[in-house]
Chain A
Amino acid sequence: MAQSPKKSKSRLWFLVHSWLALPIWFFVLIVCFTGMLAVVSQEIVWLANPDVRASKPDADATALSFQQVIDVMHKNRPELAINSMNQPDGSHFALNVGVTLPDGARTNYYVNPYTGVIQGKTPEFNFEAFTRALHGWWLVPFTNGYSWGWYLVSLLGLPMLASLVTGLVVYKKFWKGFFKPVRTGHGPRIFWGDLHRLAGVWSIWFVAVISITGIWFLIQAILADNHITISSQPIVPVIARDQVPQMPDGSATSRIGLDEAVRIAQEAIPGLDVSFITLPATAYSHISMDGRGWYPLMYQGASINPYTRAVDSQFLLSDRTALEFVTESMRPLHTGDFGGLPIKLIWFFFGLLLTLMVLSGLLIWTKRTAQATAAALKRSERPARVAATRAETTLEVQP
């Protein structure tokens, strides 16, 4: 870092920047690394497990409707109880169908959207869920309210935002740094320093997004644990008793099919792309459908009465408050899950850069410490132990 005449203030900022992540560097590193993996965990599973892929049986096959898929599944496996259907973002993914088996176990089947054939089920070790749990709450269980691991991880948003601000303050004329080459051949200290700064200026927007959304996760937990809600989402009451027919012969009445429910939902909400369906969980429950609209960061939904065909409840973009537009956008902004594979790859790349920044920050610190130790040894004949201590102190004032 170039020395400026106004040393004292920038030194102070530099010290703050240096010390922000240092005492917790390994924790920050792992959180960044697992976050980077979590962004593309679905794609990693897609690459590793053919069951997850939506392979076309032949070139001109067309996707089945939700009801057609259910019909094929019921024909092949009549004993299955189907709870939900989800089309992941991207037509290369198989449908995820949540089912309950006769022994009471629940699982998720990967179903081919062209044939309705069950290709496999979510394995015992669910890579996506595991990386997200490790990144999101350090595997600390949720017992009552948010887990303390969630607080531990989301608190990192604060030093990360502070790192960004202090980093920009100490990096003089950082806006000129976008095309500064990384110097090799001047030793690792210069190399890692250049890399840290170059990655830093290109990542300004990303670090801001990740830290601010991270702080939101902290606020979200605090709100929830204090039973404060800012949601305007209507609570869908169960279907009124008189709307569910009574059957004198004691046999179950029939409900409308899923395709009809999708049609009703799309008629009520033009542009709704239904990607998630929850089947009724009781005789008094709705068929609920969710999907994205024109604004890819938020979901819209509708609850269809399977007896009267009425849209009993809906929650659209236009129903959201301005505050909800901000708060509901936080999660997809953090995870990069709002624009398919291209956005995820951008998030993955900058997640990698961020991981490298933590690592390079640490390396700069240790290299500098080593150099300062050597210098201190040369300068004096004092015992090495004292020199080492001296070096630590020197570090504070000589960036």
Chain B
Amino acid sequence: MSRVQTVPHSPARQWWLKWRFHLNILLILVPLGFMPKYFADMRLFRGEDGLGQHVQADIPVGRWSVSLAEMRDEPPLADGPAGYFKTFNAALCATCDEGVKAIYLRVGKPRSLRAAGSILFGSQYRMATSLPIPQRTRPDALLWITIEGWDGNMYQASVPLADASPATAAWLAKQGDKR
């Protein structure tokens, strides 16, 4: 706080003394600035902007086809001690979920159904999963899609991780520098 002064203040200082406690009105700029981002995010969460970024459309898996996309064009996010995760979305071709029991996603080829990877949650129109991305993954690794049929059979296909998520591949390349 200012003490009593004997010399007159400059206009700037006067303005400051008069208005300093109202400067917090400027905090309203924060929500105003974030508003476009807020509405864009709402659209994204509702899935109105499509499946996601870098859509790998109609990848044939068995007799079906799956479209795959990363939720956001960004590197994996850390989730504490659990490691790094990346959200992917997927959709089965329209009207062709017949016979599909579950769909899984994994970095590297799964050896069996029991290790098929992260299960995709949701309806055939839009599924999502949070895929663990180990830091030691090679940037040229493949992303494997496994469909488990109600008949117990397993159908597989893969796409390069660098195509499905260039940001993840770039991030992995950097992790390689650190290793």
Contact = CB atoms under 8 A, between A and B. Distances in A.
B16 to A, nearest CB: 11
Contacts of A270: none
Contacts of A107: 46
A138 to B, nearest CB: 5
B177 interface: no
Interface string A123-150: 0001001100110001111011000010
A252 B152 CA distance: 11
Given A138-B31, A392-B17, A282 B102 contact: yes
Given A26-B28, A238-B119, A393 B34 contact: no
Nearest to A391: B17
Nearest to B94: A102
B63 to A, nearest CB: 10
Given A26-B28, A250-B150, A283 B101 contact: yes
A238 B125 CA distance: 22
Given A81-B125, A83-B122, A104-B47, A141 B37 contact: yes
Given A83-B123, A100-B122, A282-B102, A389 B77 contact: no
B123 A100 contact: yes
Contact of B8 (A102, A284, A383, A396): A383
Interface string A260-300: 00000000000000000000011111000000000000000
A250 B46 contact: no
A140 B94 contact: no
Interface string A69-82: 00000000000010
B3 interface: yes
The interface size bin for chain A is 35 or more
A244 B35 CA distance: 45
A379 interface: no
Contact of B50 (A104, A152, A247, A251): A104
A388 B13 CA distance: 12
Contacts of A241: 114
A30 interface: yes
A73 to B, nearest CB: 14
Given A126-B42, A246-B152, A251-B98, A389 B9 contact: yes
Nearest to B51: A104
Interface in B8-40: 8-9, 14, 17-18, 20-22, 24-25, 27-28, 30-31, 34-35, 37-38
Given A23-B21, A104-B91, A393 B27 contact: no
Contact of B2 (A104, A133, A392): A392
A390 interface: yes
Given A22-B21, A283-B101, A81 B119 contact: no
B41 A100 contact: no
B154 to A, nearest CB: 12
Given A249-B151, A388-B18, A390-B4, A140 B46 contact: no
Given A138-B30, A141-B37, A106 B101 contact: no
B5 A389 contact: yes
B115 interface: no
Nearest to A253: B150
Nearest to B72: A143
Interface string A339-362: 000000000000000000000000
Contacts of A2: none
Contact of B21 (A25, A105, A129, A244): A25
Interface in B72-95: 77-78, 80-81, 89, 91, 94
Nearest to B25: A26
B126 interface: yes
17 contacts: A24-B27, A25-B22, A102-B94, A104-B50, A138-B30, A139-B37, A141-B34, A141-B37, A141-B38, A141-B41, A247-B150, A251-B98, A252-B98, A252-B101, A386-B8, A390-B4, A392-B2
Interface of B: 1-9, 14, 17-18, 20-22, 24-25, 27-28, 30-31, 34-35, 37-38, 41-42, 45-48, 50-51, 77-78, 80-81, 89, 91, 94, 98-99, 101-102, 114, 119-126, 149-152
Interface of A: 22-27, 30, 81, 83, 100-107, 126, 129-130, 133-134, 138-141, 143-144, 149, 152, 227, 238, 241, 244, 246-253, 281-285, 383, 385-386, 388-390, 392-393, 396
Closest 3 pairs between A and B when the two form their complex, measured CB to CB: A81-B123, A227-B80, A139-B31
